[in-house]
Structure formats: C-alpha cells, structure tokens
A and B are shown apart, each in its own frame.
Chain A
Amino acid sequence: SQQGEEDPQALSIQEGENATMNCSYKTSINNLQWYRQNSGRGLVHLILIRSNEREKHSGRLRVTLDTSKKSSSLLITASRAADTASYFCATLVNTGNQFYFGTGTSLTVIP
C-alpha cells in the first residue's frame, strides 16, 4: 500500500510559472525524498530532507517538511518545458527498512 499521497494528481502550467505539489504521509519518518520520473524512464533523485529539517533548497527546487502535519511540499520555480514529468515523494519509515513512494503528481509545463 502507498505510504504517501501526492496532491494534485495532475498539474498543468505555463512555462515560467511556479509549480507546487504536496505530499502527505502516514507514519513517522527518518527522511523524505523527492524524485522525478520522465515517461518510460527510471526515477531521478531531486532532493532529500531529514526529519529534523524544515526547509531545503536546491537550484530552482524548494522543499518544506512539516512533521507535525506529516506533509511536505515541492516548489519548482520558473518552470521549463523540460520539467514535464511525474514527481514522487518517498519516505523511509522509522521501523523496518522499507522505502515508500507516493502516488505521484504528473506535471505538464506548456512552452
């Protein structure tokens, strides 16, 4: 079963706009990671945020984590057509060694 749920399921924006997608999860975590998947390809790691961190930046990416609400958000600023992909959050649960992926947000950036 999925540990995380992304919202929205699909998002369509114009090039240059910002894209925000959210992730909610169910249990305590060690860290939360965001991945991108282009159609028919493997996943690419974007950013990792630890459970004791609240915000992290990497280039045009900004990730926030609210462990009290069990949620995270990924902001992509100044989007480009090349950002078109599916985005997944992934969590490592404190107990056990399982890595859970959410259901994904499909982002389309229109040139």
Chain B
Amino acid sequence: DAGVTQSPTHLIKTRGQHVTLRCSPISGHKSVSWYQQVLGQGPQFIFQYYEKEERGRGNFPDRFSARQFPNYSSELNVNALLLGDSALYLCASSLGTHSNQPQHFGDGTRLSIL
C-alpha cells in the first residue's frame, strides 16, 4: 500500500507569494495533520482535519489555512509568504483523530523563501 504522499517535494518562492502544498493520506485514513519543521527543531503542529472538518489548530497566523477533500486528501495554503516560513512541511495521516493512534508521515515539502 502507498504511504502518505506529498507534493511537491521542493518549492522555491519569494516573499509575498502564496503557496499550496498537497497531501494524500494512506488509503482508509480519514485524519490528516500538517506540521512545520524548521531546521534543527521538532515539528510544530499547524492543523488537523478529520472527516473534512478542522479538529485542531496550532499557534499559526491566519495566513495559514487548510482544507480536506471528500477523498480525504488535503491542501495547506500559506499566503503572503515570509522568510520565516522557510521550512519542511510535513503531512501525517491516521485512522481517526490523534488519540491513541500513531501518525504516518510523508517525506514533506521543502519550502524555501527567497
């Protein structure tokens, strides 16, 4: 079975632009979460979606938004990009919400802001 897939793998943008990152969960998984990982640090929780509804939101500005589609895939959108948005963006899927279930991660999208 395919794991979590993310696209694109790498992306270069300039300040002020917007970006859309995509994630396809493992088949049968209904929950998708997004994380930002800055170099040398642990992942920071951005959003969790379950059954197309937002179930959790981390401490990120409104420039960050996401949605989940009927096939449980998800998009993360970031507007008005800042230099500080440069990071590895990770998507993780699980069968249900977070409680007592492992999360399965994709290899991420490396976003560089110039």
Asked if B98 is at the interface of the complex by the 8 Å CB criterion, the answer is yes
Per-residue 0/1 for A72-111: is the Cβ within 8 Å of any B Cβ (1 yes, 0 no)? 0000000000000000100010001111111110000000
Is the CB–CB distance between B41 and A48 below 8 Å? no
Please name all residues of chain A whose beta carbon is closer than 8 Å to the beta carbon of B25 when the two chains form the complex: none
Say whether, besides A1-B59, A96-B56, A101 and B44 are in contact (CB < 8 Å).
yes
Of the stretches B11-19, B61-69, B102-110, the one at the interface is: B102-110
How far in angstroms is the closest Cβ of chain A from B25?
13
Interface residues of B: mostly helix, strand, loop or mixed?
loop
| Chain A positions 15-38 with a Cβ under 8 Å from a chain B Cβ | 30-31, 33, 35
Q: How many residues of B contact A (CB 8 A)?
A: 27
Interface residues of A: mostly helix, strand, loop or mixed?
strand
Inter-chain CA distance A99–B43, complex, in Å, is 10
Asked if A50 is at the interface of the complex by the 8 Å CB criterion, the answer is yes
